[in-house]
Structure 1
Amino acid sequence: MKILVAEDSRPSRMMLEATLTKWGYEVTAVCDGNQAWNALQESDDLNLAVLDWEMPGMNGPDLCRKLREKERQDPLYLIILTARNKPADIAHGLESGADDYIAKPYNHAELKARVDAGRRLLTLQNQMREREKLQGVLEMAGAVCHELNQPLQIVLGYAEMLLEEGDKNSDALKTIKTEINRIGELTWRIMKITRYQAKPYLKSRIIDIEQSSD
């Protein structure tokens, strides 16, 4: 997982970056609130951010508030880092939109626990989103297959009837029957979709029916 670190103190920023990298995170480090805002807008992969309260440009709470006001496709977990530790300060930081709060000076065990908790929550939220996508796919697939099956059966019935009568266009009718059977197999496979697996298609993505069905 990628993490954004926004800290105006160069020694603190370097220490955070080195520590988080050691724990296996990919870190993007910036030195003020404006840079943090830009980094979070430019990258969809930055889903977890550790933000210092006191920074040039936008401070931590202001940045949290602005981020929460903007619609975002992926979930975002925000941790405010500050030397302020009064209850009113903690409340202000969380009310601004932060998910967690770490008071300076902090120890590495606490930092790791809070960052890992954020990662677990983001993972859970992403899993829930994937299940919601799958549910939507299944509902749409069921409706499409239901609507297709009846006309397919009618067309197939007429094709078979004409073939039995020795129609002069029997080759064309055989082709029609073959293609109808292919569509029937496709609807059957769609009905067996059990997971959400997409693949690139032109400039977008579509569900991979082969990989999504058992």
Structure 2
Amino acid sequence: MEILIIDDDELIQLMVGELVNHTGNPYRTACDGIAALKKIEEKKPDIIISDIVMPKMDGFELCRRIKQDHNLKDIYFMVLTAKNSRTDKEKGFNIGADDYLVKPIIPWEFNLRLQAGIRIKKLQHEILELRQNKVITEMAGAVAHELNQPLTAVLGLIHFIKEDLKKYDNEEIYRYFLKLENQIQRIVNLIRKIQQIKRYEVKEYTRNTKIVDFEKASGSLSLEVQTNFISVVDDEQIMGEIFAEVLKEKRFIYKYFPNGKDALVEFRKNPPGLVFLDVNMPGMNGLEVLQQLRSFSPDSRVVIMSGFLEENEEKNLSDFGAADFLKKPFSMMTLERMIEDYNITHNQNNNS
């Protein structure tokens, strides 16, 4: 808790400061209301302990200004004064003071009242955080829901257009659609982060503006994807050998893993740019691997491989975060085209 002590008597400042020190909270001092407002502008305190009779601006006027300011009115304002009349106390509370202490200071009483003020401020912070979390999670859920439907449709349409373009062998237009698909996939990944938002977290955007920090708010910071790293996760070793042959003349780092557990250990250190992931594996299946990978590397592009999925299951793969599906058995031409598509996107991103 940040505490601001305001009194034109330096001895009182020292005495109150010593009592505040016992609570373990930092404090600053000011000699009058004008000086206090400057200190508040520099850094907003949680609690103010202020005298009434001071030059330039007295404590009553300072309290009135603070309680009328939307950004400052939540400051806990404690009056500490020698003015002991009923009229003065009524005036103090009527303009917004939260507590009223009379000099001379009684240390044990001052300590109890200050501790009460600290408890109230902590409760205010907790209530505000709960409200902020509730608002942002409800908003995030609504935004993600409304955006998911049209984006799914757009990705589907792009896929159909790409398939048609293959018939006409128009590589230039095909690359434009591939780049468009990649950018939309980035939006999809952002929506996944929004869906995972658990609390209110912000970061500096401009000097006077803050924006929601999706990484912190979603509870997990994503790691930077190694776009030149391609991996295959399949319990059949022959699959690793096939991919090694296809990739041997391409400028990618390639690693094969026979199971999901070993793959995730490496992926947490070096998130891959592209993963070919088998579904049916012992121990941990491909969808479980995909779910864990998405928690720390939402930008990794994952292609699910299987020869056993039903048509409706294939359609639902995107819900798990898969970018594409490769049905076994597949031709080398299909595999090479898929890797070439990723290679084109990889080069475009490096050049942009």
Give the TM-score taking structure 2 as reference length.
Answer: 0.54
1:105-125 deviations in Å (ceiling 9; x for gaps): 232221122122222222222
Task: Indicate yes or no: 2:186 matched with 1:187.
Answer: no
- Of residues 206, 212, 216, the one that matches 1:211 is 216
Distance 2:142 2:115 in 1: 41
1:46-72 deviations in Å (ceiling 9; x for gaps): 231111122223322232122222332
Alpha-carbon contact 1:47-1:74 (below 8 Å) kept: no
Matches within 5 A, 1:1-214: 1-40=1-40, 42-72=41-71, 75-165=74-164, 166-167=166-167, 168=170, 169-203=173-207, 204-214=209-219
Go from structure 1 to structure 2 and tell me whether the alpha carbon gap of 1:178 and 1:93 turns closer, same or farther (over 3 Å shift): same
What secondary structure is seen at the aligned counterpart in 2 of 1:161? helix
Q: Which has the higher contact order (CA 8 A, sep 6+)?
A: 1
Distance 1:164 1:10 in 2: 80
Letter of the 1:206 partner, please give it. Answer: I
Go from structure 1 to structure 2 and tell me whether the alpha carbon gap of 1:155 and 1:26 turns closer, same or farther (over 3 Å shift): same
Distance 1:90 1:34 in 2: 22
- Give identity over the alignment, percent: 34
Alpha-carbon contact 1:44-1:74 (below 8 Å) kept: no
Go from structure 1 to structure 2 and tell me whether the alpha carbon gap of 1:202 and 1:70 turns closer, same or farther (over 3 Å shift): closer
Q: Which moved more, 1:140-149 or 1:98-107?
A: 140-149
1:190 Cα shift? Answer: 0.5
Distance 1:73 1:101 in 2: 19
Instruction: Please identify the structure whose Cα radius of gyration is greater.
Output: 2
Give the TM-score taking structure 1 as reference length.
Answer: 0.84
Distance 1:191 1:157 in 2: 21
Q: Which moved more, 1:93-102 or 1:8-17?
A: 8-17
Alignment gaps of 5+ in structure 2: 220-352
Letter of the 1:68 partner, please give it. Answer: K
What secondary structure is seen at the aligned counterpart in 2 of 1:136? helix
Letter of the 1:29 partner, please give it. Answer: T
Go from structure 1 to structure 2 and tell me whether the alpha carbon gap of 1:127 and 1:74 turns closer, same or farther (over 3 Å shift): farther
Go from structure 1 to structure 2 and tell me whether the alpha carbon gap of 1:104 and 1:73 turns closer, same or farther (over 3 Å shift): closer
Q: How many residues align?
A: 213
Alignment gaps of 5+ in structure 1: none
Go from structure 1 to structure 2 and tell me whether the alpha carbon gap of 1:101 and 1:155 turns closer, same or farther (over 3 Å shift): same
